[in-house]
Amino acid sequence: MRKKIVAGNWKMNLTLAEGEQLVNDILAAGINLPEDQAVVIAPPFPYVQKVKQLTRNYPGIFVAAQNCASEKSGAYTGEVSAAMLASVGIDYVILGHSERREYFSETNAQLAKKIDQVLANGLKPIFCCGEPLEVRQAETQNAYVAKQLEESLYHLDAEALKNVVIAYEPIWAIGTGLTASAQQAQDMHAFIRAQIAAKYGREAALGLSILYGGSAKPSNAAELFACPDVDGGLIGGASLVAADFTAIIKSL
Ligand code: 13P
């Protein structure tokens, strides 16, 4: 059975001391994760090792980076490779967040290379997809997301795909307070799963965790997570508040 996951993307927020406090508060909340549930915390690069250290005795709690380089190693000043992240014990890497696509011009083709780096180093990508508002208004979101999947993931074989997590984050819902309705989320998640089934078969599709992201919060998490194809959430703002993040985890 596929994993249910709540992942917290801190984005470019918090000092180290604030981050430590947040992690300690989350751990103090006494979350009991059954076998089929996982929590992923994605702090900024300088804190990943510290967060890994703080959470290492908590089974079911994992650490993610928010990005990594598309190249293996070498003269790429300012970049962080997947091999480096693996060497400090990181578990997941968020790739293709819409903020990376929009502000740092990441393309589907470049993300395919990042996916390969992450998988080659034994890490799991959390691959983000999702449409901007004008695409949703034109009702062409399915074709838009299908193209993202095709151009960044479909070079993988079925074995490699088992290590991939997909996060559907409609751009119009990120940080806006405007959440996709449970029906909108379910429709897109079911569409993504059907696409994966068409390409990789039914078993691969049923094993794939697909997370929803975009203004998820304690008040709407339970309804979103109750949708049959929504396997948890990728949480931004609410992951910075221990009480909110733990409430969302408990909604799983
Ligand atoms: P918000 O939860 O702040 O809308 O952000 C979602 C997100 O981008 C998570 O990656």
Name the percent of the chain lying above pLDDT 90. 96
Regarding the beta carbon of 97 and ligand 1, being less than 6 Å apart is answered yes
pLDDT tens by residue, 218-241: 999 999 999 999 999 999 999 999
User: Do the beta carbons of residue 18 and residue 43 sit within 8 Å?
Assistant: no
Select from 235, 240, 251 the residue to mutate for testing ligand 1; criterion: most ligand atoms less than 8 Å from CB: 235
Task: Specify the pLDDT at position 162.
Answer: 97
> Distances in Å between the alpha carbon of 72 and those of 68, 96, 114, 141, 192?
10, 18, 9, 33, 29
| Confidence category of residue 173, pLDDT binned at 50, 70, 90 | very high
C-alpha closest to that of 95 among 71, 122, 125: 125
pLDDT over threshold 90, residue 176 = no
Name the percent of the chain lying above pLDDT 70. 100
Regarding the beta carbon of 82 and ligand 1, being less than 6 Å apart is answered no
Residues 6+ apart with CB under 8 A from 14: 22, 43, 44, 47, 240
Domain coordinates of the chain in residue numbers?
4-250
Please name the residue whose Cα sits nearest to atom 2 of ligand 1. 236
φ/ψ (deg, to 5) at 15: -85, 175
Q: What is the pTM assigned to this prediction? A: 0.98
φ/ψ (deg, to 5) at 63: -120, 140
Select from 9, 97, 217, 220 the residue to mutate for testing ligand 1; criterion: most ligand atoms less than 8 Å from CB: 9
Ligand 1 center to 74 CA (angstroms): 32
Ligand 1 center to 220 CA (angstroms): 14
pLDDT over threshold 90, residue 58 = yes
What is the CATH topology of the domain spanning 4-250? TIM Barrel (3.20.20)
User: Do the beta carbons of residue 5 and residue 230 sit within 8 Å?
Assistant: no
Mapping DSSP to helix (H, G, I), strand (E, B) and coil, where does residue 92 land?
A: strand
